[in-house]
Chain A
Amino acid sequence: MASHKEIVSSFIEGAPPGELTDVIADIKALTIHEPSLVKGLGPAFEKYNEEQFTTVKLPGGSQLVVVSEHSALGGGRYFDVESSTSFEFDHATRKASAVQSYVLEGAQSDLVKSTIKALSPYVKEHFPDAAYGAYPIEDDSKVAVIIVGNKYSPKNFWNGRWRSLYVFDPSTGILEGSVKVDVHYYEDGNVRLLTNKPVSQPVPSGTGAGIVREIATTEKKYQEELNRSFTNLSEGAFKGLRRQLPVTRQKIEWEKVASYRVGQDIGGGSSRR
């Protein structure tokens, strides 16, 4: 049996894009007799923010920066290369503070900077509401690239998130990662789209511009494939589950429904599934 802490942590982890505050409010109301439970949710909040690439505006800044395990400095601090800053992030309130200047150095710093330079125009051209970043990882041996786009429309009962994470390994020239889309629609119901597209592509040039060109191609192809799959599911699996009308193209004449059996092998529930 899962402990209460595990249960509420799993609720936090499953919060749809833009709805963490609502989920926390529900949890608080349900565990009002156990206030220690919500107080102990720090690790769950941290996990959510780092996995979901939570974005935050720095005090006095206008651009969004990304919180992730790849931009973590430890001790609740994160860094952003483009603005050359580091900041403290409160995982419960999702606010940034204590901004300091942060100068990136090291073997991958040039590649990180050239990747960001190429990333900026790409993201602006394709994501209306997004944040991005690139970071040296694994002892400065690889470069992580993150794009996160959010659109929240709670008044219309939908929210969505696009998350891309790529890791480029300069020693092999391979770009690996995944694109994840999460859409929630909840007017008179609860409908969720969750996707995961693994990516593994060579980037022969090994340059920042080359990495971003590969990302742009991959994401365009992926989105086109995703759009096709909506059509395929609608025309295929969905149609196969329930017809819009019977083969006769007519609604049932319920007064005569008993006579439908005559001359037809309709079959019972046991004969076909």
Chain B
Amino acid sequence: MSADPFDCALDLLRRLNPKHTASHLNGLIELAPDLTEDLLSAVDQPLKVRRCKQTGRDYLICDYNRDGDSYRSPWSNQFDPPLDESGLGGGAVPGERVRKMEIGANEAFDVYRELYYEGGVSSVYFWNLDDGFAGVVLLKKASPQGGSSEGVWDSIHVFEASERGRTSSYRLTSTVILSLATKGSLLGELDLSGNMTRQLEQDLPVENDESHIANIGRLVEDMELKMRNLLQEVYFGKAKDVVGNLRSIGSLSEGQRDRDAQKELIGSMAR
């Protein structure tokens, strides 16, 4: 039995340098064109920033606010470049109720962005589902240029809200793409880049549409706190530990002697 090509493509992207996911993705699409749609929707890439022509505010673009070659601004609800009005439906925009929630969520996450990121750009996009709605919360922050080190953080939180009377069931998939690089005369060059994904499901009470925004806000806030701790552990703890496993700064035989001596000491105390 041969392995599923789509799974193999994802496995490959999980192994190859995450800093160059975009070019690996292009290569995979070239090799297996029939996987194009599935790969583009399954693989998260760093977000791009665009300025809204109507409001002058920056927003983030991704597959979720795209229609053809145009992207919808969350601030104006307009597509850029404008879609041909005579075309089919004038682009995918959420229904009136969901757009109202989308406006509220963009305002709420703009506050969230300022409090946690102290800069950067945020965008929230909602769309209708048969039994509720879904959306994506996007956050991006790049460290100021010109420092000795640089970093870029991209958060992509995709959720589905299934409404069941007074409760709603939320399914959240969160990815953070974090790239860090630094250099120096003693250090040479160092690049520490990657992405991590986590999922969770939770049922929460809903009184009105505003409680949806509060629920999604709390879910994203808790998830980002968890993921920030995880990233810290993997990027700075795990990576350093593995380097220490490759090469020991201290002498290995002395380390072994110390461990043997300690074992003996513990043994003698136990007797």
- In this complex, the member of B213, B232, B246 whose beta carbon has the largest number of chain A beta carbons within 10 angstroms is B246
Residues of A within 8 Å of B88, CB to CB, are none
Residues of A within 8 Å of B32, CB to CB, are 30
Alpha-carbon gap, A228 to B113, bound state (A): 30
Q: Interface size for chain B: under 10, 10 to 19, 20 to 34, or 35 or more residues?
A: 35 or more
Encode contact with B along A93-129: 1 for CB under 8 Å, 0 otherwise.
0000000000000000000000000000000111111
Contact between A7 and B246, CB atoms less than 8 A apart: no
Indicate which residue in B3, B141, B251 contacts A242 across the interface (CB closer than 8 Å): B141
- A-facing residues in B214-271 (Cβ within 8 Å): 214-215, 217-218, 221, 224-225, 228-229, 231-232, 234-236, 238-240, 242-243, 245-249, 251-253
Residues of B within 8 Å of A170, CB to CB, are none
Q: Is B163 an interface residue (CB 8 A)?
A: no
Residues of A within 8 Å of B178, CB to CB, are 238, 241
Encode contact with A along B179-205: 1 for CB under 8 Å, 0 otherwise.
010101011111111111110000000
Contact between B236 and A233, CB atoms less than 8 A apart: yes
**CB of A265, distance to nearest CB on chain B (Å):** 9
Residues of A within 8 Å of B196, CB to CB, are 188-189, 191
Contact between A234 and B8, CB atoms less than 8 A apart: no
* Nearest chain B residue, comparing its CB with the CB of A149: B246
Number of A-B contacts (CB under 8 A): 295
Residues of B within 8 Å of A191, CB to CB, are 18, 192-196, 234-235, 238-239
- B-facing residues in A25-46 (Cβ within 8 Å): 25-27, 29-32
Q: Is B76 an interface residue (CB 8 A)?
A: no
Alpha-carbon gap, A45 to B103, bound state (A): 54
Alpha-carbon gap, A223 to B190, bound state (A): 12
Contact between A30 and B9, CB atoms less than 8 A apart: yes
Q: Is A59 an interface residue (CB 8 A)?
A: no
Contact between B243 and A181, CB atoms less than 8 A apart: yes
Indicate which residue in B149, B228, B234 contacts A233 across the interface (CB closer than 8 Å): B149
Indicate which residue in B3, B111, B239 contacts A252 across the interface (CB closer than 8 Å): B111
Q: Is B94 an interface residue (CB 8 A)?
A: no
* Nearest chain A residue, comparing its CB with the CB of B13: A190
The interface stretch among B62-70, B115-123, B127-135, B164-172 is B115-123
Contact between A231 and B236, CB atoms less than 8 A apart: yes
Contact between A234 and B235, CB atoms less than 8 A apart: yes
**CB of A130, distance to nearest CB on chain B (Å):** 8
Contact between A126 and B218, CB atoms less than 8 A apart: no
Contact between B8 and A126, CB atoms less than 8 A apart: no
Contact between B56 and A270, CB atoms less than 8 A apart: yes
* Nearest chain B residue, comparing its CB with the CB of A248: B115
Contact between A246 and B151, CB atoms less than 8 A apart: no
Contact between B120 and A273, CB atoms less than 8 A apart: yes
Alpha-carbon gap, A158 to B245, bound state (A): 11
Encode contact with A along B101-127: 1 for CB under 8 Å, 0 otherwise.
000000110111111111111110000
Indicate which residue in B58, B141, B217 contacts A254 across the interface (CB closer than 8 Å): B217
Q: Is A272 an interface residue (CB 8 A)?
A: yes
Given A29-B3, A273-B121 in contact, is the A185-B234 Cβ separation under 8 Å?
yes
Residues of B within 8 Å of A139, CB to CB, are none
Contact between B236 and A238, CB atoms less than 8 A apart: yes
Q: Is B99 an interface residue (CB 8 A)?
A: no
Alpha-carbon gap, A233 to B149, bound state (A): 7
Alpha-carbon gap, A273 to B153, bound state (A): 12
Q: Using CB atoms and an 8 Å cutoff, list the residues of chain B in contact with chain A.
A: 2-5, 8-9, 11-20, 24, 27-28, 30-32, 49, 51, 55-59, 107-108, 110-123, 141-143, 147, 149-153, 178, 180, 182, 184, 186-198, 210, 213-215, 217-218, 221, 224-225, 228-229, 231-232, 234-236, 238-240, 242-243, 245-249, 251-253
7 A-B pairs within 8 Å (CB atoms) are namely: A26-B15, A126-B252, A191-B196, A193-B192, A224-B249, A245-B116, A269-B58
Given known contacts A14-B20, A236-B149, what 14 new A-B pairs fall within 8 Å (CB)?
Answer: A2-B27, A11-B27, A26-B8, A126-B248, A160-B246, A183-B243, A189-B195, A192-B19, A192-B193, A193-B192, A223-B243, A227-B240, A244-B228, A270-B57
Q: Using CB atoms and an 8 Å cutoff, list the residues of chain A in contact with chain B.
A: 1-2, 4, 7-8, 10-11, 14-16, 19, 22-23, 25-27, 29-32, 124-129, 149-151, 158, 160-162, 178-179, 181, 183-186, 188-198, 219-227, 229-234, 236-238, 240-248, 251-252, 254-255, 257-258, 260-261, 266-270, 272-273
